[in-house]
Structure 1
Amino acid sequence: MKRIGVLTSGGDSPGMNAAIRAVVRKAIYHDLEVFGVYNGYQGLMEGNIKKMELGSVGDIIQRGGTILYSARSEAFKTEEGQQKAIEQLNKFGIEGLIVIGGDGSFRGAEKLTKKGYPCIGVPGTIDNDIPGTDFTIGFDTALNTIIDSIDKIRDTATSHERTYVIEVMGRNAGDLALWSGLADGAESILIPEQPDDFEAVIQKLKRGQERGKKHSIIILAEGVGSGVDFGKKIEEATDMDTRVTVLGHTQRGGSPSGFDRVLASRLGAKAVDLLLEGKAGRMVGIQNNKLVDHDIIEILKEPHTVNMEMYKLSNELSI
């Protein structure tokens, strides 16, 4: 293999640039040519592809977002779109493709893999919802962004003696809500993986009120429902002064944490190693601090799970 490509797809996550840098520099170190695909699968179909040099990835390890940009593409989901993508890859002589992204991005890599085109997936999403890896690139940074926001909101909640519902991202996964709620001592954490027990939340609020507690923080994963709606239900059930904060896309931006920079560098370099070894249709990940790789088609069949021991602990500590 002499020439590879790299693209980012789906929602951006802090650390994607560090992964791009690792792919480019690791490949060049091994005398490979590297081509960046701009605007994800849409750009791939359109041939928005440029050769990358060492300088192309200089001074980007600390930057959030992705220098290759990202876009969602309905056209790529079709047979015609996938064929266009392969034609462009062949046109540029690209023999293997590294895809940095989340679940949807990996579905695209799976499609190309099934058509015989060598792809390696690198998990980059703040949701941490990819099976086969303990952490995805961007999760740690987003988690710390959320924690910082909750710390600030708690100051206001304390000053005004209010209950705050804070809605966090995560799509259909509860990792961001669970980890941030445990880290910030939230009174209640609601995640998609655990049945919503509204009455338990209300009883916990009332018990706190009875012992003189002046404020409460409730973390709601977006996969459970609307924070605004949940806040209204609480106010109606308790008459407590309740406010809602939807953190939104602030969670996806910012300079990546040290953990995410190192993780992205390790996973990006590992992806290049796999292509050099002649492997295809794999996803790289980290488990028990060791780099691993899985069949990308098989791993996508696995369900996402959260650490229910952590969920139990959060309930025990928030009595």
Structure 2
Amino acid sequence: MKKIGVLTSGGDAPGMNAAIRAVVRKAIYHNVEVYGIKYGYQGLMEGNIERMEIGSVGDIIHRGGTILYSARSEEFKTDAGQEKAIEQLNKFGIEGLIVIGGDGSFRGAQKLTEKGYPCIGVPGTIDNDIAGTDFTIGFDTALNTVIEAIDKVRDTATSHERTYIIEVMGRNAGDLALWAGLADGAESILIPEKKEDFSTVVNKLKRGRKRGKKHSIIVLAEGVGSGFDYGKRIEESTDLETRVTVLGHIQRGGSPSAADRVLASRLGAQAVDLLLEGKAGRMVGIEKNVLVDHDIAKVLHEKHTINDDMYKLSQELSI
């Protein structure tokens, strides 16, 4: 294999640039040409492709976002769109493709692989919701962003003796909420995987006030529902002054943490190795700090699960 391509797709995640850098430099180290594809699969279909050199990825390891940009594409989901993408890859002589993104991005990689075009997936999403890997690129940075925000909100909550609900990202996965809630000593952690009864949340708040607790923090994943709706219900049920903070897209940005830079570098380089070994339709990941790879179809079929022991511990510590 003499020419490979790399693209980022779906939501951006801190560390994607570090992964791009690793792909480019590892490939060039092996005398393989690398082509960057801008704006994800949409850019691929449109031929928005350019050759990358060592200097193309200089001074980017510390930057958030993605220098290749990202876009969503409905057209690519069709057979015609996929054929158009393959035409562009063949036009540039690109023999293999590395896709950095989440499950939606991997579905595209799977489709191309099924059509005979070798792809390798690199998991990049702040939700940490991909099976087959302990961590995804961007999760650690987003987690630290959430923790920093909660720490600051706690100062105000303490000063005004209020209950605060912090709504974080996580439509189908509660890892951000769970890890942040445990790290910040939240009274309740509300995630899609665990349906905690509303009365349990209210009783915790009441018990806390009865023993003299002046403020409370509740972390809620967006997949559970609206933080504002939940806050209104709490005020109506407890008469406790409640405020809601929705962190939104601030969770996606920022300079990647050391953990994310190292993870992205390892996964990006491993993806190049797999292509050079002739493998296709695989996703690289990390399990117990060891690099692994799995069939993308299997990864997409399986469901990421939260750490039940961590959730149980959060319940035990928030009495």
- Shorter-chain TM range is over 0.9
Q: Which amino acid aligns with 1:154?
A: R
User: What's the secondary structure of 1:283's corresponding residue?
Assistant: strand
Tell me how far 1:91 sits from its aligned partner: 0.5
2 CA distance for matches of 1:267 and 1:298?
19
Matched, 1:247 2:247: yes
User: What's the secondary structure of 1:60's corresponding residue?
Assistant: coil
2:127 aligned partner: 127
Tell me how far 1:171 sits from its aligned partner: 2.1
Q: How does 1:144-183 map to 2 (within 5 A)?
A: 144-183=144-183
Unpaired segments ≥5 residues, structure 1: none
Q: How does 1:138-287 map to 2 (within 5 A)?
A: 138-287=138-287
User: What's the secondary structure of 1:245's corresponding residue?
Assistant: strand
Q: Which amino acid aligns with 1:242?
A: T
Tell me how far 1:299 sits from its aligned partner: 1.5
User: What's the secondary structure of 1:213's corresponding residue?
Assistant: coil
Q: Which amino acid aligns with 2:98?
A: I
- Of the structure 1 ranges 295-304 and 24-33, higher mean CA displacement relative to structure 2 is found in 295-304
1:30 aligned partner: 30
Structure-1-length-normalised TM-score: 0.99
User: What's the secondary structure of 1:284's corresponding residue?
Assistant: strand
1:303 aligned partner: 303
1 CA distance for matches of 2:100 and 2:11?
10
User: What's the secondary structure of 2:62's corresponding residue?
Assistant: coil
Tell me how far 1:298 sits from its aligned partner: 1.4
1 CA distance for matches of 2:237 and 2:107?
43
Contact residue 7 and residue 98 of structure 2 kept, 8 A: yes
Q: Which amino acid aligns with 2:235?
A: E
Q: Which amino acid aligns with 1:20?
A: I
2:71 aligned partner: 71
2 CA distance for matches of 1:88 and 1:195?
47
User: What's the secondary structure of 1:7's corresponding residue?
Assistant: strand
The C-alpha deviation readout for 1:138-197, integer Å capped at 9, x for no partner, is 000000000000000000000000000000002210000000000000000000000131
Q: Which amino acid aligns with 2:186?
A: A
2 CA distance for matches of 1:201 and 1:294?
39
1:312 aligned partner: 312
The C-alpha deviation readout for 1:62-108, integer Å capped at 9, x for no partner, is 00000000000011001111110010000000000000001110111
Tell me how far 1:303 sits from its aligned partner: 1.0
Q: How does 1:31-110 map to 2 (within 5 A)?
A: 31-110=31-110
Task: Give the aligned CA root-mean-square deviation in angstroms.
Answer: 0.5
1 CA distance for matches of 2:231 and 2:92?
53
Tell me how far 1:304 sits from its aligned partner: 1.3
2 CA distance for matches of 1:256 and 1:189?
25
The C-alpha deviation readout for 1:94-129, integer Å capped at 9, x for no partner, is 000000001110111011111111000000000000
User: What's the secondary structure of 2:25's corresponding residue?
Assistant: helix
Matched, 1:116 2:116: yes
Contact residue 171 and residue 192 of structure 2 kept, 8 A: no
Q: Which amino acid aligns with 1:110?
A: Q
Q: Which amino acid aligns with 1:119?
A: C
1 CA distance for matches of 2:315 and 2:235?
22
Deviation beyond 3 Å, 4+ runs, structure 1: none
Q: Which amino acid aligns with 2:304?
A: H
Q: Which amino acid aligns with 1:38?
A: K
- What count of residue pairs does the alignment treat as equivalent? 319
